[in-house]
Amino acid sequence: MAREECKALLDGLNKTTACYHHLVLTVGGSADSQNLRQELQKTRQKAQELAVSTCARLTAVLRDRSLAADERAEFERLWVAFSGCLDLLEADMRRSLELGAAFPLHAPRRPLVRTGVAGASSGVAARALSTRSLRLEAEGDFDVADLRELEREVLQVGEMIDNMEMKVNVPRWTVQARQAAGAELLSTVSAGPSSVVSLQERGGGCDPRKALAAILFGAVLLAAVALAVCVAKLS
Give residue-wise pLDDT tens across range 160-171: 988 887 877 766
Number of other CB atoms surrounding residue 200 within 10 Å: 8
E-assigned strands of 52-184?
none
Percent of all residues in the chain with a pLDDT value above 70, rounded to a whole number: 68
Q: What gap in Å lies between CA 49 and CA 85, rounded to an integer?
A: 14
- Asked if 130 contacts 24 with a C-beta cutoff of 8 angstroms, the reply is no
Burial class (CB in 10 A: 0-12, 13-18, 19+), 20: buried
Mean pLDDT over 204-233 rounds to: 73
Q: What gap in Å lies between CA 62 and CA 58, rounded to an integer?
A: 6
- Asked if 27 contacts 62 with a C-beta cutoff of 8 angstroms, the reply is no
Helix axes 69-102, 34-62, angle to 10 degrees: 160
Question: Looking at the domain 1-107+120-176, which fold is it?
Answer: Methane Monooxygenase Hydroxylase; Chain G, domain 1 (1.20.58)
Residue 203: is its pLDDT beyond 60?
no
- Asked if 196 contacts 190 with a C-beta cutoff of 8 angstroms, the reply is yes
Domain ranges of the chain: 1-107+120-176, 206-234
- Asked if 86 contacts 160 with a C-beta cutoff of 8 angstroms, the reply is yes
Q: What is the pTM of this model?
A: 0.64
Quote the pLDDT of residue 123: 57
- Asked if 36 contacts 132 with a C-beta cutoff of 8 angstroms, the reply is no
Residue 28: is its pLDDT beyond 80?
yes
For 124, which DSSP code? Answer: H
Give residue-wise pLDDT tens across range 29-53: 888 888 999 999 999 999 999 999 9
Query: How many CA atoms lie within 13 Å of 52's alpha carbon, on the beta-carbon side?
Result: 9
Q: How far is CA 5 from the centre of its chain?
A: 22
Quote the pLDDT of residue 205: 54
Residue 193: is its pLDDT beyond 70?
no
Give residue-wise pLDDT tens across range 81-117: 898 899 999 999 999 999 998 888 776 555 555 555 5
Give the type of residue at 229.
V
